Amino acid sequence: MKFLVLAIPVVIISGLVACSDKIDSSSNKVESAKLVATIQDIMVAQIDPAADALWESVSSTTTAEGTEDKQPRTEEEWSIVRHHAITLAEAANLLVLEGRRVAAEGKLLEDSHVPGVLTADQVQKKIDLDPHRFANIAYEFQDYAKEALVAIDARDTEAFLIAGGKLDQACEKCHQQYWYPDAVNPAKFPPLTTHK
Ligand code: HEC
């Protein structure tokens, strides 16, 4: 009977090993990821919705009638924004994985009709020229997502609002360098995000 109890975990572990591609046997860590999505997919499916939800959860609006502060209040509301901050922080890792393509073959990037907006091939070349530079910008973005996470865990609305603003700037920094570096008139091409 004792033998049976011991045998079950062994079978499970060896089953896991058999399923994975490459496992470093010394640490049992997977060495390579199996990529599914493009950068464009990650922007649209993960980063954009998580960032929007995070930004929309907190605001301070001053009108003639006074100031209206919107912020997460219940545990459930804080927990929802926490999940979005985690999505953003980990999405940075997804962006920089080796082999990640900018977009699927033939896919147009958003705003591709605007003068100065690069094509997917051009963005790809820019990233491939110096992937570490791209990664540094992604990790800077991750730092702000982590800052938001710390603020959320401390239930510190003010710090959360500040981290949200820095996140917005980090989106812009990457986009200005990799997506629309040659936009003719940046004043006519405001940031995608119109939250305030
Ligand atoms: C490390 C770089 C990087 C960061 C940080 C980044 N992006 Fe992007 N994003 C890109 C690149 C490169 C493109 C152009 C390729 C594309 O269109 O997906 C892009 C494109 C997009 C697009 C257009 C997708 C499409 O359909 O073509 C959206 C929307 C977007 N980003 C949202 C965001 C938001 C919101 C943030 C911040 C919360 C953000 N991104 C942060 C690199 C970044």
> Average pLDDT in the 72-83 region?
98
CA geometry: angle 90, 44, 190, nearest 5 deg: 105
Residue nearest to atom 23 of ligand 1 (CA): 110
pLDDT for position 18: 47
Give CA–CA dist 133/34, Å, rounded.
23
pLDDT for position 184: 65
pLDDT at 115 over 50: yes
Cα 78 to ligand 1 centroid, rounded to whole Å: 25
Structure confidence at residue 194 as a pLDDT band (50, 70, 90) = very low
Give CA–CA dist 83/98, Å, rounded.
25
Query: Residue 179's closest CA among 95, 85, 87?
Result: 95
Structure confidence at residue 185 as a pLDDT band (50, 70, 90) = low
pLDDT at 3 over 90: no
Q: Which phi and psi angles does 36 have, rounded to 5°?
A: -120, -45
Tokens representing 42?
A: 């990650």
Q: What percent of the chain has pLDDT over 70?
A: 81
Tokens representing 18?
A: 């058999």
Tokens representing 189?
A: 């091409």
Cα dihedral 80, 84, 90, 91 sign? positive
Q: Confirm if 97 and 35 have CB atoms less than 8 A apart.
A: yes
Tokens representing 129?
A: 């020229």
Q: What percent of the chain has pLDDT over 90?
A: 70
Atom of ligand 1 nearest to the CA of 50: 38
Give CA–CA dist 97/11, Å, rounded.
31
Give CA–CA dist 91/133, Å, rounded.
17
Q: Which residues line ligand 1 (CB under 6 A)?
A: 39-40, 43-44, 47-48, 51, 95, 102, 109-110, 123, 134, 137-138, 141, 167, 170-171, 174-175, 178-179, 192-193
Give CA–CA dist 31/148, Å, rounded.
29
Query: Lowest-pLDDT range, 42-51, 98-107, 122-131, 182-191?
Result: 182-191
pLDDT for position 122: 96
Measured from the Cβ of residue 71, the count of other Cβ atoms closer than 10 Å reads 16
> Average pLDDT in the 43-66 region?
94
Sequence-distant contacts of 103-109: CB under 8 A, at least 24 apart: 103/38, 103/39, 103/40, 104/38, 104/40, 107/38, 107/40, 109/40, 109/179
The tens digit of pLDDT for each residue in 6-41 reads 454 544 444 444 444 566 667 778 778 999 999 999
- Give the residue, 10 or 90, on which the prediction is more confident: 90
